[in-house]
Amino acid sequence: MTNTTLLINLSDRYNRLAYTDKYILGFTFKGVVYMVFADRYMVDRFVCLDKASRGAGYSLRFKPTVEQKIALLMGAEVVCSVDYFNSMVVNSIYNRGEIFEKLVTEKLGQVWEKDHIPFTEAGDIEYRGVAYQIKFEKATFTNEKSLASLEKKA
């Protein structure tokens, strides 16, 4: 299986299981943290194949290149400065993805709470009646091992 075929396969399998096909993607560019609303078809253009850790095969990741970030800027909104974002991460028990999720949730006028609800059961946030998954750059959507396990349960 070629890498392109594997990427398409993982993406299709993920999308079949996902609760929502709407996303809020986060990325940094020139000292600023941005967010952009996206659907599955837009996300498919910005995910890549990566090696998963601990023998889990390949993973599906949001790792936009500089060119992709420039393309994403068209519909993006400023969240905060990278300096502010990094200070929040350093002074918190949460990781970059969780801090981004917190900032986005608060920007959208809601109270953030850490949860462990799987992507198959709910989005990370509901905004204007639509469920969204929130992903910050370098985030893993899933990996081969997780997908195989979820597909057995389905």
Q: Are 58 and 2 in contact (CB under 8 A)?
A: no
In a domain, 145, yes or no: no
In a domain, 120, yes or no: yes
Compute how many other C-beta atoms are within 10 angstroms of the C-beta atom of residue 51: 10
In a domain, 147, yes or no: no
pTM, full prediction: 0.94
In a domain, 150, yes or no: no
In a domain, 144, yes or no: no
Q: How many folded domains does the chain comprise?
A: 1
In a domain, 149, yes or no: no
Query: What's the CA gap between 150 and 120, in Å, rounded?
Result: 9
List the domain range (segments joined by +) for residue 89.
Answer: 3-137
Strand (E) positions, 9-153? Answer: 22-29, 32-39, 47-51, 58-62, 77-81, 125-127, 130-136, 139-143
In a domain, 154, yes or no: no
In a domain, 98, yes or no: yes
Q: Are 96 and 79 in contact (CB under 8 A)?
A: no
Residue 32 confidence class, pLDDT cut points 50, 70, 90? very high
Residue 2 confidence class, pLDDT cut points 50, 70, 90? confident
* Residue 75 per-residue DSSP state: G
How much is the average pLDDT of 2-8? 89
Over the chain, what is the mean pLDDT? Answer: 95
